[in-house]
Amino acid sequence: MTLELLDVNDNVPQFPQSFYTIPVMENNAPGALLSSLTAFDPDLHENQYLVYFIIEKEIVNTSISMLFSINPENGNLYALKTFDYEIEKEFLFHIEARDSGVPPLSSNVTVHIIIVDQNDNTPVIVSPWRVHGSVVEDKIPRSTDKGSLVSKVIAIDTDSVQNSRITYQFLQVTDATLFSLDQYNGDIRTMRMFSYRDPRHQRLVVIAKDNGEPALSATVTIKLSTVEPAVKAYSDMTEVPLEYDIFSDLNLYLVIGLGSVSFLLLITVLVTCVLKCQKPMPSKAAPPSRNSVISERNSTIADSTLVSNDAYWYSMFLAKTRKGKLVVRQPVPKAGSRYIVSSLPRSTGLTETSDSAASTLQVRRTSTSDSTSFAIILSVFVPQVDSYSIFYNLKCWNFFSLTCIACLPCC
């Protein structure tokens, strides 16, 4: 007698491990095989046939079944899309294995999908900011000290920590002895002070390179222009308090006022001096008469009259009262001639018939080849007044009328 034992579905499917970590390189192709998850069921026949499926869940508002798929017969896990490390870094879900027994038995396993970063992002320079492909221009004082911070280059990389590690280097520099660059933080500093031999414009090309394989990089060009310290002086001047500006305007008004007053005072003084120094206009000469000569230097002797018994002597000399001149009207006679002059003091108010002092006018003659000179000596005796001696120089030229004018000098 033969006995056959029938299998009962009394064993659950078993996975070799309870937790699976599956790394997936980003930028993968859609439908790429990620891993194969296989379970074991010791039952026989239909009880050992397993079916695999992903337990449904949502990740970031997306169903897990739209991201991954599993072959229900052999447990192969596939990616349904291309993953980007910068957007999605990991996924966590469960896979269940179920047998075909009655009732069916099942077990599940946790799957952790880790997206592995690739060096697929180029560093981006964010400081100093510039339009793509343009040159950054900056100005620095020519008196900058050694070790001063000139500029700072900052680049970022959205890759993973390892791939996003940035180092900085000079790709091109006008003077390598003038600037230094920190390879880790991107600080650009002066190694020495500027000299008159250094060019006014310095061109620096900095490269920022990541640590990926292969390494990616970005460059920036910085054009530095040195300026004189006058810029600082202008900056200091703009920081002057408001009170100083008001005080300056007040000073300006005071200066203008004082200048105007001084100018008017100067004009007044000049006009006064001109009026004081201006000589009176000569009056119209009196007609020939027996008036006497006026002395401009002595008010005591007022008038003199030529006295003669003959009209000839009157026609010989003419006395101009206002101009103090004695005019020779006829050719002078021989030397030794004498003339009598009457003097009337102005202060006494005497007339021609009053007591007047008689004076003697003597003519002395000296001859030369071309001209004849005469010395006229006039002695005047006036009551209550000391004697005055007046010397006249009379020079006559032998023209048609031999006329000469003698001016009365100071007494």
pLDDT in tens, 55-111: 998 887 889 999 999 999 999 999 999 999 988 899 999 999 998 888 889 999 999
Q: Can you read off the two tokens belonging to residue 372?
A: 């004849």
What pLDDT band is residue 131 in, cutting at 50, 70 and 90?
confident
Determine contact, residues 71/37, Cβ cutoff 8 Å.
no
Q: Can you read off the two tokens belonging to residue 298?
A: 């002595």
Short-list 289, 313, 282, 315, CA closest to 303:
289
Determine contact, residues 67/79, Cβ cutoff 8 Å.
yes
Residue range(s) of every CATH 2.60.40.60 domain in the chain: 19-116, 124-232
pLDDT in tens, 349-364: 433 333 444 444 555 5
Range among 122-136, 246-260, 384-398 with highest mean pLDDT value: 122-136
Contacts of 173-181 with CB under 8 Å at 24 or more apart are: 173/202, 173/203, 173/204, 173/205, 174/199, 174/201, 174/202, 174/203, 174/204, 175/199, 175/202, 178/202, 179/150, 179/204, 181/153, 181/206
Sign of the Cα torsion 100, 101, 103, 107 reads negative
* 373 pLDDT more than 90: no
* Sheet of 317-320, strand order: 317-320, 325-328, 404-407
pLDDT in tens, 290-325: 434 333 333 333 344 444 444 444 445 555 445 455
Q: Which residues, 6 or more positions from 90, have their beta carbon under 8 angstroms from its beta carbon?
A: 112, 113, 114, 115
pLDDT in tens, 138-181: 999 989 999 999 999 999 998 888 888 999 999 999 999 999 99
Interatomic CA distance for residues 133 and 144, integer angstroms: 29
Could you please state the CATH topology (level 3) that the domain comprising 124-232 is classified under.
Immunoglobulin-like (2.60.40)
CATH 3.40.50.300 fits 19-116, yes or no: no
Q: Can you read off the two tokens belonging to residue 89?
A: 């870094």
Q: Can you read off the two tokens belonging to residue 285?
A: 């000469």
Determine contact, residues 357/342, Cβ cutoff 8 Å.
yes
Q: Can you read off the two tokens belonging to residue 218?
A: 């970005």
Interatomic CA distance for residues 42 and 388, integer angstroms: 173
Contacts of 362-369 with CB under 8 Å at 24 or more apart are: 362/336, 362/337, 362/338, 363/332, 363/333, 363/335, 363/336, 363/337, 363/338, 363/339, 364/335, 364/336, 365/332, 365/334, 365/335
pTM of the shown model: 0.48
Output the pLDDT for position 48: 84
Q: Can you read off the two tokens belonging to residue 112?
A: 């952790």
Determine contact, residues 411/295, Cβ cutoff 8 Å.
yes
Whole-number Cα distances in Å, 326 to 200, 295, 313? 89, 11, 13
